[in-house]
Amino acid sequence: MYIRHIHDEIEFLEENFQNLTYAELTSDKRAQHMITKALEIIGEASKNLSDVIKNEYTTIEWRLIAGMRDRLTHSYDDVSWKTVWDVLQNDIPALRSGIDQILAEKGW
């Protein structure tokens, strides 16, 4: 279930990188790899969600999530760590809220 993949990757990011600083992100290659992989999985899973879910939950910016995955996958040498940092700090908590809502409402 793709929504569960998104949830699990968000949980992984929160559990492992909640206290990560921007300086650590930009200098820790291992953290960079794990974070970008989790964001890629979130993006790929969002691409595979049914249109029914995407159309029902339009407050989640599914297209932007998929776009982030595409940028990370196809432009790895040119990753903006500032953008990744902003995603971790702002977008992931907001996405967590939306995903939790979907899981609760659908009983998944």
Q: What residues act catalytically?
A: 69, 74
Give the dihedral sign, CA 93/97/99/104: positive
Measure the CA–CA gap between 30 and 50, rounded to whole angstroms: 33
Q: What is the DSSP letter of 59?
A: T
Q: Say if residues 88 and 9 touch (Cβ distance below 8 Å).
A: no
